[in-house]
Amino acid sequence: MTAVLVVDDDPHLLKVLRITLRANGYAVVTATDGRSALLAATQHQFSLVVLDLGLPDIDGTTVIKELRSWNTTPILVLSARHTSDDKVEALDAGADDYITKPFGPDELLARLRALLRRVPETSQEPVVITESFTVDLSKHRVVRDGKDVRLTPTEWNILEILVRNPEKLVTQQQLLTEVWGPAYVKDSNYLRVYMAQLRRKLEPDTATPRHLLTEAGIGYRFQP
The CATH number covering residue 18 comes to: 3.40.50.2300
First to last CA, the chain: 29
Which of 83, 99, 119 is the C-terminal boundary of a domain? 119
**What is the residue range of 85's domain?**
2-119
Are 95 and 133 within one domain? no
Are 140 and 110 within one domain? no
Which of 102, 119, 136 is the C-terminal boundary of a domain? 119
Are 67 and 101 within one domain? yes
Are 135 and 168 within one domain? yes
Are 80 and 100 within one domain? yes
The whole-number pLDDT of residue 143 equals 92
Are 98 and 137 within one domain? no
137 burial level (CB within 10 Å; 0-12, 13-18, 19+): middle
Q: Total structural domains in the chain? A: 2
Q: DSSP letters along 207-218, please?
A: TS-SSEEEETTT
Are 41 and 142 within one domain? no
Are 95 and 175 within one domain? no
Q: What is the pLDDT along the chain (224 residues), one digit of tens a residue?
A: 789 999 999 999 999 999 999 999 999 999 999 999 988 887 777 889 999 998 999 989 999 998 887 778 899 998 887 777 888 888 988 999 999 888 899 999 999 999 988 765 544 457 888 888 999 887 888 999 888 999 998 999 999 999 988 888 888 888 888 888 877 788 888 889 999 999 999 999 999 999 999 988 889 999 98
Phi, psi angle pair for 207, to nearest 5°: -70, -30
β-partners of residue 128 are 135
Closest CA to 78 of 103, 58, 106, 59: 103
Residue 48 Cα distances to 28, 72, 80, 138, 176, angstroms: 10, 10, 20, 20, 23
Distance of alpha carbon 75 from alpha carbon 102, whole angstroms: 18
The whole-number pLDDT of residue 124 equals 47
In this structure, the number of other CB atoms found within 10 A of the CB of residue 142 comes to: 23
Are 115 and 8 within one domain? yes
Sign of the four-CA dihedral 81, 3, 167, 35: positive
Contact 47, 2 (CB under 8 A): yes
Which of 77, 102, 119 is the C-terminal boundary of a domain? 119
Are 7 and 57 within one domain? yes
The whole-number pLDDT of residue 125 equals 54
Residue 163 belongs to a domain with what CATH number? Answer: 1.10.10.10
Are 71 and 140 within one domain? no
